[in-house]
Amino acid sequence: MAMDVVILANGPGEITTWVKPVVTALRTQVPSREDLRISVVLSPCPNATGREADIAQQYPEVDRVQSAQHFWPFLLRGKTAEGWDWRDRGVVLFLGGDQVYPVIIGRHLGYKTVIYAEWFTNWPRWVDAFGVMNPRLVEQAPQKYREKYTVVGDLMADGQTTLAGQAAAAQQLGLTDDSVLIGILPGSKRAKLTQGVPLLTATADYVHQHRPDVRFVIPVAPTVDLASLMTYADPAQNPFHSVFNAPQLTLVMPSEAGELPYLKTAQGCQIFLWQTFPAQAVTSQCRLCLTTVGANTAELGALAVPMIVLLPTQQLEAMNAWDGILGLLVALPLVGKPFNILINRLLLAYLSRRRKLFAWPNIWAGREVVPELLGRLTAEDLGDRVLNYLDHPEQLQQIREDLQQVRGESGAAYKLAKLVLQFAE
């Protein structure tokens, strides 16, 4: 009997690293489009590039796609912009957004609901099944709902790049078997980029002076263009440039096809700019990555790439990425800035006492698998730590092995697809 699978997703990361392997697994198990129709419905996401619908439409396994601009009428009334028809049987599969969405949409369509979860689960009373990354989420679930939980593994592990993709990236970066590549991930939002760009470029310049053989790459977030990135590297536009004694940077654009743009310092350090998204073809080849907190840490953890997670606090007023009521208060004229500083001082004091973990691999493990640096960071201190790791590769290997143990198993896409199809029967 024919069935529908409606996949809910939102940002670029979910579309490429979650949706792609799952739709491939679904179509492998049920090749006939008469028996299985796959629809992708996007919800709004602050990190969206606007290209998510185009990317999903390029997947041959997918039958139809609705962009995020039409999401709210679909959520509220169950009606799509193109008036899609629905089969009698189906499953709503959550692969990004808010976990309440499949609950509401599943009721509209009369379909079962399945949620894939990495970090937390909600609404277990109303959700039919959860496919989770690791057993920890099962242990945290209410006892009476645990039978709804199935450990499927890590979808990001299934969405890793191919060897061909890695080889192409290595050629563009000029990498050889002996090359040492360090990834720089300053973030995608203003509050992080303001500090991340000057701190990390200064660190790269410092390491270059001691190890000229080391190569650097910034996987540029899809929401950041090169012109915007340069504003954070400009001392006239970013006051934190001087706070971190950051180098003057020049943007060098490629002169021939196939070459990459790069940032160049006066000392001759070149920091290549990788604009293809997702960036696993490059990040998977990094000996070490320097990253801000956020989803980056989950993706690097899934790839078992050693990282140093940075939370610089030189200027407390820079930490203003608040939502809700706090976001409104810190935006007020006159009182907003001092109020924001007060909030951050209280927060930092609390975090220092509680030793809260920020990086997702550390949260999953319940301990510090990858180092987290919170405080007044300098390029020299961070650079010395990087150099020490490069001088002691066995320490990086230990981090890599720890990450491999923490992350979920591969094969998650097949197991999740099997779970979905089971509920569609």
CATH of the domain at 113: 3.40.50
Question: Taking the mean position of all CA atoms in its chain, how far away is CA 423?
Answer: 29
Q: How confident is the model at residue 205 (pLDDT cuts 50, 70, 90)?
A: very high
Alpha carbon distance 254, 209 (integer Å): 24
* Mean pLDDT (the chain, rounded): 88
- Is residue 125 domain-shared with residue 183, that is, in the same domain? no
Same domain, 418 and 322: no
CB 4 within 8 A of CB 89: yes
- List, for residues 126-146, the tens digit of each pLDDT value: 999 999 988 889 999 999 999
How many angstroms separate the Cα of 198 from the Cα of each of 52, 96, 204, 290, 341? 30, 32, 10, 13, 21
Per-residue confidence (pLDDT) for residue 278, from 0 to 100? 76
| pLDDT number for residue 302 | 83
Same domain, residue pair 358 and 273: yes
Instruction: Report d(CA 56, CA 23) in Å as an integer.
Output: 10
- One domain for residues 25 and 137: yes
What CATH number is associated with residue 366? 3.40.50.2000
Same domain, 149 and 210: no
Unique residue bearing structure tokens 């979650």: 18
Which of 45, 42, 95, 98 minimizes the C-alpha distance to 67?
A: 42
| Residue of higher predicted confidence among 50 and 99 | 99
Cite the beta strand spans of 159-245 per DSSP E: 181-185, 215-219
Q: Report the number of distinct structural domains present in the chain.
A: 2
- Are 123 and 174 within one domain? no
pLDDT band at 314 (very low <50, low <70, confident <90, very high): low
pLDDT score for 415:
96
| Residue 36 pLDDT exceeds 70 | yes
Identify whether residues 65 and 125 lie together within a single domain: yes
Do 140 and 285 sit in the same domain of this protein? no
Q: Span 317-342, mean pLDDT?
A: 58
Q: Whole-angstrom Cα distance, residue 148 to residue 138?
A: 9
**Domain boundaries, position 91:** 3-154+409-424
- In the chain, pLDDT over 90 holds for what percent of residues? 63
> Residue 158 corresponds to which tokens in the numbers above?
């299934």
Tell me what pLDDT residue 349 has: 64
Q: Rounded mean pLDDT of 280-302?
A: 90
Instruction: Examine the pLDDT at 356 and tell me if it is beyond 80.
Output: no
Same domain for 255 and 241, yes or no, is yes
User: Does residue 3 carry a pLDDT above 60?
Assistant: yes
**108 burial type by CB count under 10 A (0-12 exposed, 13-18 middle, 19+ buried):** middle
**Cβ(282)–Cβ(183) below 8 Å:** yes
Of residues 334 and 415, more confidence is placed in 415
Within this chain, do residues 254 and 347 fall inside the same structural domain, yes or no?
yes
Q: What is the pLDDT of residue 323?
A: 47
223 and 79 share a domain? no
For residue 9, CA distances in Å to 17, 28, 160 come to 11, 21, 18
Binning pLDDT at 50, 70 and 90, where does residue 164 land?
low
pLDDT band at residue 352 under the 50/70/90 scheme = low
* Residue 376 structure tokens: 């007044």
Q: Do 180 and 329 fall into the same domain?
A: yes
pTM for the model stands at: 0.76
Cis ω before 219 (30° cut-off from 0): no
Predicted confidence at residue 49, as pLDDT, reads 77
Cα 123 versus chain centre, distance: 24
